[in-house]
């Protein structure tokens, strides 16, 4: 059948909102998936953006075609549209518009919601407005109906919490509870590389991408490739990573560099400097702090002033220090952002130029359309574009994530952190590398699962527009659509993910590499488990459930910020009626709008 050129505008609008939905998915869900790695200081925010970009696209392109079928055909059967391709295009365009608008609003206000359930709810609302409630698949429908999908709302966080808690308790018993945990951490590292490597391989091979034909392979082939690849990762880590880590953590060789890892077992013969034992191991400090360096230096100087000799000048300084503690929460947040902006203005390159341009060219008095203001706006627009593209990768996540010291939020997080046992940096350093691998696995799993959110409805719109038929229920998702939306997801992570990441991670419980790697492995296993059965599940819910599960492994419920968890659960619950209502109302208005005949 011919292309429906009379509905080109519907296809264009649907494409726009599909890309917006994918962008929001990256800014909301993917940012939350990487929040644990950044929170644990296992990886810098910039490297998290780079690896997230790569593995999101790999997961979407290799595995992401399966869950799209559930969104396309599992909620509203194609037969309900009575082969009216135009109405079908309009229905899924309205669903994408409602879901993407709601998630964008939530992301702008740092509210963590599920883009998966937002879209599913919008599709259901559109289905009610289009073909009636009786045509919507409310039940299980062979694992593809709303009943099966929303069952994940309760199951996914609980399952993820169980997996993550089990993995962390294994690390805790095998390593952390030992009298000398560092050797145990070094020598057991290959096992956790084995687990992470197997999970990643499993996501590709087991019921793998139809384009690779892996789903047609026999069971023995699937098992051997999966286990063999995981074992290969473990062997490589044992040959190269373990000797390098042994030199850094056990020998405390402060002269070792990252490129020495390629020497492998020869590093066991490498002699450490004579004074190595007198030095601490050259590893990162993984402790979570409430302030950044500037805040701490300011606090120390204030303390010095308070302890100094009494004089008129000292009294004035003390008065200033006291008054500084009386800022409101919003004022403290604004001060923190201004400190970040001041640092960015000192940078070289595009971001420094853009921040200086915006700072030095504020709008003048009068209305926007004044000639002077119009000239200033012409200068500001290029700088605003540069800031929009680069601000995210330069954002100080650690300073924004743990709470503002001295405020109720900061005090709450101090109480939560006090109930979490802190493990030696040398031990945690081992799991920072495992966590990087698990974070990449989690990102791969997200790309495999959540690409179906936006690409499912967009594939329906494209198929109906391109063929002029609404009956192509089993039409495959074109690879170019997966590529476009996976790139858009990654773009959302890089440019706007900081807005969600700053309220996640350490805002729920105390993070460290061993905890974070357990959270990510637990979430990745859960996402892949649901994905293999073509059930869309929220990655955000999985990682949140895993975070709570690991937090409870501290032995007390006080180690979890239940206020933040409660807000997240409320946001998830309210997403369902709000997104569904938005989609249904929008579709009802457009479908029944008065028009000339």
Q: Which residues have a Cβ under 8 Å from the Cβ of 498 and sit 6 or more positions away? A: 31, 45, 391, 392, 395, 397, 400
Does residue 315 carry a pLDDT above 70?
Answer: no
Give tens-digit pLDDT for 335-355.
767 877 888 898 888 989 999
Give tens-digit pLDDT for 485-514.
888 888 888 888 887 777 766 778 888 899
Task: Compute the distance between CA of residue 28 and CA of residue 34 in angstroms, rounded to an integer.
Answer: 10
The pLDDT confidence band at residue 192, using thresholds 50, 70 and 90, is confident
User: How high does pLDDT run on average in the chain?
Assistant: 80
Does residue 312 carry a pLDDT above 60?
Answer: no
Give tens-digit pLDDT for 53-106.
888 888 777 766 555 555 555 677 777 777 788 888 898 899 999 999 999 998
pLDDT of residue 323: 47
Crossing angle between the packed helical segments 293-307 and 312-324, to the nearest 10 degrees: 140
Task: Compute the distance between CA of residue 282 and CA of residue 399 in angstroms, rounded to an integer.
Answer: 23
pLDDT of residue 296: 46
Give tens-digit pLDDT for 511-555.
889 998 898 888 878 877 876 676 767 777 888 899 999 999 998
Task: Compute the distance between CA of residue 514 and CA of residue 376 in angstroms, rounded to an integer.
Answer: 50
**Long-range contacts of the stretch 227-235 (C-beta < 8 A, 24+):** 227/198, 229/197, 229/198, 229/201, 230/194, 230/195, 230/197, 230/198, 230/199, 230/201, 231/194, 231/197, 232/197, 233/193, 233/194, 233/196, 233/197, 233/437, 234/190, 234/191, 234/193, 234/194, 234/197, 235/190
Q: Which residues have a Cβ under 8 Å from the Cβ of 550 and sit 6 or more positions away? A: 164, 165, 168, 509, 515, 518, 519, 522
Q: What is the pLDDT averaged over residues 299-313?
A: 43
Instruction: Count Cβ atoms within 10 A of the Cβ of residue 356 and give its class: 0-12 exposed, 13-18 middle, 19 or more buried.
Output: middle
The pLDDT confidence band at residue 324, using thresholds 50, 70 and 90, is very low
Q: Which residues have a Cβ under 8 Å from the Cβ of 432 and sit 6 or more positions away? A: 40, 41, 42, 43, 284, 286, 513
H/E element, 324 = helix 312-324
Q: Model pTM?
A: 0.79
């Amino acid at each position: 059948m011919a292309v429906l050129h009379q509905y080109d505008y519907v296809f264009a609008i649907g494409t726009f909102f599909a890309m917006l939905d994918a962008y929001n998915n990256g800014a909301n869900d993917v940012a939350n998936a990487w929040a644990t790695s950044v929170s644990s200081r296992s990886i810098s925010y910039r490297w998290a953006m780079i690896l997230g970009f790569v593995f999101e696209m790999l997961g979407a392109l290799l595995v992401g075609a399966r869950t799209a079928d559930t969104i396309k055909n599992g909620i509203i059967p194609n037969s309900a549209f009575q082969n009216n391709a135009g109405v079908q295009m309009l229905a899924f365009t309205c669903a994408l518009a409602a879901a993407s608008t709601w998630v964008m609003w939530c992301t702008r206000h740092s509210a963590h919601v599920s883009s998966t359930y937002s879209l599913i709810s919008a599709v259901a609302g559109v289905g009610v407005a289009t073909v009636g409630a009786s045509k919507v698949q409310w039940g299980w429908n062979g694992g593809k109906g709303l009943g099966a999908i929303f069952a994940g709302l309760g199951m996914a966080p609980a399952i993820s919490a169980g997996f993550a808690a089990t993995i962390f308790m294994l690390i805790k018993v095998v390593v952390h509870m030992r009298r000398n945990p560092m050797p145990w951490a070094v020598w057991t590292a290959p096992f956790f590389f084995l687990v992470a490597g197997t999970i990643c391989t499993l996501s590709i091979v087991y019921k793998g991408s139809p384009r690779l034909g892996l789903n047609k392979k026999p069971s023995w082939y699937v098992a051997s490739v999966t286990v063999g690849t995981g074992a290969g990762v473990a062997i490589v880590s044992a040959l190269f990573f373990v000797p390098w880590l042994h030199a850094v953590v056990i020998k405390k060789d402060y002269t070792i560099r990252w490129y020495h890892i390629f020497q492998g077992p020869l590093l066991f013969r490498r002699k450490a400097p004579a004074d190595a034992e007198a030095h601490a191991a050259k590893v990162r400090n993984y402790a979570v702090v409430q302030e950044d360096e500037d805040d701490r230096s300011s606090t120390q100087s204030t303390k010095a002033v308070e302890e100094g000799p009494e004089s008129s000048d000292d009294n004035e300084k003390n008065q200033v220090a006291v008054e500084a503690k009386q800022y409101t929460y919003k004022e403290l947040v604004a001060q923190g952002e201004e400190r970040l902006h001041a640092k960015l203005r000192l940078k070289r390159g595009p971001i420094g130029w853009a921040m200086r341009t915006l700072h030095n060219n504020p709008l003048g008095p009068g209305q926007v359309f004044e000639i002077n203001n119009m000239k200033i706006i012409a200068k500001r627009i290029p700088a605003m574009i540069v800031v929009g593209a680069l601000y995210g990768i330069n954002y100080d996540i650690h300073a924004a994530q743990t709470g503002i010291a001295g405020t109720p939020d900061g005090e709450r997080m101090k109480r939560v952190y006090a109930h979490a046992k802190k493990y030696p940096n040398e031990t945690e350093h081992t799991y920072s590398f495992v966590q990087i691998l698990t974070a990449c696995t989690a990102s791969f799993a997200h790309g495999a699962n959540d690409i179906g959110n936006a690409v499912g409805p967009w594939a329906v719109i494209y198929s109906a527009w391109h063929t002029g038929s609404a009956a192509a229920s089993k039409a495959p998702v074109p690879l170019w659509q997966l590529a476009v939306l996976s790139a858009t997801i990654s773009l959302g992570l890089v440019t706007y993910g900081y807005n969600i990441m700053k309220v996640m991670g350490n805002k729920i419980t105390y993070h460290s590499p061993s905890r974070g790697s357990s959270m990510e492995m637990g979430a990745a296993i859960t996402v892949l488990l649901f994905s293999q059965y073509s059930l869309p599940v929220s990655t955000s819910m999985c990682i949140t459930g895993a975070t709570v599960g690991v937090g409870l492994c501290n032995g007390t419920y006080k180690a979890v910020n239940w206020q933040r968890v409660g807000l997240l659960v409320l946001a998830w619950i309210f997403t369902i009626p709000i997104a569904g209502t938005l989609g249904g109302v929008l579709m009802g208005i457009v479908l029944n709008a008065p028009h000339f005949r």
